[in-house]
Chains A and B, each alone.
Chain A
């Protein structure tokens, strides 16, 4: 049943469709200290193990996705799939890219006996935060320790983010790639969440881009 949405679909609306990005780099000394992006809406399924079936569900997921689901607050990545720990015996599997629909059917089939599957593709807004001051910005938003020593790549937490409940994680390390923090919050709170991240980041020289900004600039390019 979970048809995976095509994000270029004009019937589809991103959670921050009414928001225009921000650029304070020039006003704060010319250096971009933080980059903030609204991520395209990934397909997402919640996998909740049946009673006593956590190991079986975990093994089934590992088989389908090619990465072991974390048993503690953390995120694992394999190909176009990201597996976010969401509680004991619960994982949120985010599926990017064209194969998402097929992937999601495979998960459903593989965990038929061991887990309940819930489509949560439209429930959230995902923000990506990078740049030398990303940790400073996070320290304004969450009350957990996001220092490199305590929150290495692959760490995740379910926590309060500027009065909103959500997930925060640091993407698993990839050689040559800069560190990117992700914030996942409820869709209806998207504008409030965005506001608080922007306000915390502006002082460091912020470049903030929503999905709608991307679409608008794409339109402009096309017009050119």
Chain B
């Protein structure tokens, strides 16, 4: 292993592990770092300053921050199917063998020809696309959009399927603490000691927040000791769960939060079976948000040159990662914070050329730092930054006394004050409140159960963070009933954090507000000038804050500039709406394991194993996997198989698994009365041991479902429903029982899954049944007539129910056995019925036979058809009330022109009918006003030898014999058809009764 040089690595310090060197590549260049580095810190240690190109102008950009707010240093991480675009180098934990590529440049990061966009910058100002690419309209899709997409943009998504696993999980707690800095650790300690169930989430791999970079003293010892003790104590508390690498990205209703745990992102690839990321839904009785604050930059000409960096980020690199992000530093600060950076740099032995402080009068503490470190002070501002892709060359300083100065530096730290991270506090629509004393927005009006403490609440001093965090944790725990002894908070000095903001130093060059979307201060002024005065409109016109970083370093600055341009105060200007997610995360995590064929569950029928072993093709029917046909060797098409299966049923006997039908057990003294109210026809008169076909309506009078219901005993019925409506009918009955008629004594239970049910159909069906029904059970036509039912046993004692019902139109039965025996029954029937020519048939053959018999199914019961429309009017009882009765008598549902069910045959019997074709009078033009209805179901009828169809057509009941066009412009179908009775086969029903 050859370790590449790290010229900017400091000799001492940092929480990196110098004993664990790691190799990685950036744009193919071999580099090295140490365990504990981020990709950004390792790049800086190696002297890489140019990290990416900007979105629109392709300007060279460097690493700007040391955290999740990073707008510039976006890379493509990993390769192949694991390539992940737009990954923030500042949040990527370095691992051995890491491969990263820069984005949005061609041919290379250093020589990017698209940087020519920058020369045409005036054309690319805010609203450029809206104004320019308007004409001609069709050019948008064909020319402009592809062109813009090529020129502007970020990383490339991977093209191969994601090889990694993702998980979704749910967690519950009394107190959720978001952010593990000093305030968060204090909150978790207080709540945990009090006995509450606590979840402490932090985006970082280590707890400590800013303490990891800023150090300090807590309870008279180094902050790092306090962190270690706090984490050790929390780990030992049984109710506390620590969740590092976990970003809470959204606050939702009812104390629910969304969070993303990066389980394996710090590894070259996940361990065996390990998910890469886990999406947590956290349900918290109380939440304490201690999400800290983000330092804000100062907008000034040339501020996007590599080497310009947030002052707090400079401290992070020096202290936490032992990296000097430059050789010669200048600091431009609007408050005390920049001076802390000066002290840190000095302590690390780095050269600080000057601190430029915008305040006319410096606090004594700052003067003391200057004196102690020998740092020159310039009272004034940085007027312009000069440099290019290799970084800063020089900064020009304008002093308050009128003098100017040039500083030769390669790193400029900006300290513009702090923006509390108010996002989670605002996700319910609350607007933050402007606090003039710290010149920042703080949360105001929180979601129920939420507290905010520490820097997120504008408390920028360490002592205050520790106190407020502790109090919030203690109070939150107490509200959840955990008021145990929790000791006292840790103590620290309240350092001064005074600041007087400078938002924007105007000047000649480009001054960027939103680095990631290339929005400048001039763009904001332009938006205002063009009338986009509201902050929401400015955001959309300029795209300020709409990039993947969600404007963490730009939103507040942008609206401050807008306020200045508009001559309003910042609170008058207001903020845009805060929406989740706080940080970007992958769709993979949202989907979890529910992808591909596991998007939805699959339901397996009881005879699946037999069918799979006997040539069945399966089709998804809702969630079910059902046999559609059973191909035999030599059959060239599904139609051939299907026709054979139909003929077998019509001529001998077939068997088909119909277990998917819904089955509902209905018992109780009022069961008959209940069914009378549910069905249009009467069931209370049904004799015991008989089945009857029933139709039920929705409350609005349209047909809802149909099926046969049998009476097993005086107070015991068994209903069947269609497969598709099994769950809905159950819901409907539960609603009727519990809400509409609680006075009825009825008990209902789904038994759909209890029974395997086989249709045994055809002239030889009784003979086939005889082979499996145990001797001693009489299944003769006298004992089991048409619509008769019988309790029998099969295969040597298995209890079964035999129903003499027919969907195919043949002499037929349905035989139900407990589901565990379904497969054995199928196998036995097929084996023992071989001499009878017994044939398994699938969904296709079943559908053909029901069309031949004119039975309506889901295609006809389509939510717009009434019982009358479907030819079921004579079933409707006039002597009782039932669900849907009143609404079914609305005038519109009785209108003579309504579409009725009818059968259709092609006049030229060789033509093929297709479902979906619309009916037109012969000679009528194909227009919507001539529409007469449409074909709902079609098939080739092997029984009749030609194509047949069912359809809904205007006044269909009166039009048997008429001819119309079946017009199908989508598939170029135009067939003259003859209207006929919907029952094509055995209209008198002699075969099923015989």
Q: Which residues of A contact B (CB under 8 A)?
A: 1-3, 5, 10-14, 17-18, 24, 27-28, 41, 46, 48-52, 115-116, 118-124, 139-140, 142-145, 147, 149-150, 162-164, 186-193, 195-196, 199-200, 202-203
Contact = CB atoms under 8 A, between A and B. Distances in A.
Contact of B593 (A10, A119, A199): A199
Contacts of A52: 745
Contacts of B171: 139
B818 A122 contact: yes
Interface in B589-618: 593-594, 598, 600-606, 608-609
B558 to A, nearest CB: 39
B170 A143 contact: yes
A17 B598 CA distance: 20
Contacts of A144: 170
B797 interface: yes
Contacts of B755: 122
A5 to B, nearest CB: 6
Contacts of B822: 13
B820 interface: yes
B273 A27 contact: yes
A139 B608 CA distance: 31
Closest 8 A/B residue pairs (Cβ): A192-B601, A202-B273, A116-B667, A116-B747, A51-B745, A188-B603, A48-B747, A122-B819
Contact of B747 (A5, A50, A143): A50
Contacts of B770: none
A222 to B, nearest CB: 21
Nearest to B624: A188
Given A14-B820, A50-B747, A51-B746, 14 more contacts: A1-B799, A12-B824, A51-B668, A116-B747, A143-B281, A145-B283, A162-B593, A188-B603, A188-B604, A189-B602, A189-B603, A196-B593, A202-B272, A202-B273
Given A13-B609, A147-B172, A163 B594 contact: yes
B167 interface: yes
A142 B624 CA distance: 23
29 contacts: A1-B791, A3-B797, A3-B798, A11-B821, A12-B820, A12-B824, A24-B273, A49-B747, A51-B668, A51-B744, A116-B716, A118-B665, A118-B667, A118-B751, A120-B751, A121-B818, A122-B820, A123-B819, A142-B170, A143-B170, A143-B281, A144-B170, A147-B197, A149-B197, A162-B601, A188-B603, A188-B753, A191-B604, A192-B598
A139 B278 CA distance: 12
A124 B197 CA distance: 35
Nearest to B598: A195
A163 B754 contact: no
B192 to A, nearest CB: 14
B274 interface: yes
Contacts of A186: 603, 753
Nearest to A148: B238
Nearest to A163: B601
Interface string B155-171: 00000000001011111
Nearest to B278: A140
A186 to B, nearest CB: 5
B220 to A, nearest CB: 37
Interface centre among A14, A28, A46, A51 (most CB of B within 10 A): A51
Contact of A164 (B168, B172, B601, B667): B601
Nearest to B712: A1
B196 to A, nearest CB: 10
Interface of B: 165, 167-172, 197, 271-275, 281, 283, 593-594, 598, 600-606, 608-609, 624, 665, 667-669, 716, 744-749, 751-755, 791, 795, 797-799, 818-824
Given A188-B605, A189-B603, A140 B754 contact: no
A123 B818 CA distance: 9
Contacts of A199: 165, 593
B755 to A, nearest CB: 7
A41 B799 contact: no
A13 B751 CA distance: 18
Contacts of B821: 5, 11-13
B703 to A, nearest CB: 27
B273 A122 contact: no
A191 B602 contact: yes
Contact of B272 (A24, A48, A150): A24
Contacts of A51: 668, 744-746
A190 to B, nearest CB: 7
Contacts of B797: 3
A6 to B, nearest CB: 10
Given A5-B820, A28-B271, A139 B605 contact: no
A122 B819 CA distance: 6
Contact of A13 (B668, B745, B823): B823
B169 to A, nearest CB: 5
Contacts of B665: 116, 118
Contacts of A142: 170
Contacts of A188: 603-605, 624, 753
A24 B272 CA distance: 9
A48 B749 contact: yes
Nearest to B755: A122
B754 A122 contact: yes
B255 to A, nearest CB: 12
Contacts of B609: 13, 17-18
Contacts of B751: 118-120, 123
A200 B281 CA distance: 16
A10 B609 CA distance: 14
A150 to B, nearest CB: 7
Nearest to A204: B273
B165 A140 contact: no
A187 B819 contact: yes
B265 to A, nearest CB: 15
Contacts of B669: 50
Residue in B600, B624, B744, B751 whose Cβ sees the most chain A Cβ within 10 Å: B751
A91 B450 CA distance: 40
Contact of B169 (A17, A49, A140, A190): A140
Nearest to B671: A116
Nearest to A52: B745
A17 B170 CA distance: 31
A5 B600 CA distance: 31
A140 B668 contact: no
A169 to B, nearest CB: 17
A3 B793 CA distance: 10
Contacts of B594: 162-163
A41 to B, nearest CB: 6
A184 to B, nearest CB: 11
A51 B818 CA distance: 28
Contacts of B274: 203
Nearest to B241: A147
Contacts of A147: 172, 197
B749 A3 contact: no
B681 to A, nearest CB: 24
B167 A200 contact: yes
A48 B749 CA distance: 9
B668 to A, nearest CB: 6
A203 B166 CA distance: 12
A203 B275 contact: yes
B243 to A, nearest CB: 13
Contact of B168 (A3, A50, A140): A140
A161 to B, nearest CB: 10
- The interface centre, meaning the residue of B601, B752, B791 with most chain A CB atoms within 10 A of its CB, is B601
Nearest to B274: A203
A147 B285 CA distance: 14
A10 B798 CA distance: 12
A193 B171 CA distance: 21
Contacts of B746: 51
A126 to B, nearest CB: 13
Contacts of B273: 24, 27-28, 202-203
Contacts of A145: 172, 283
Contacts of B753: 122-124, 186-188
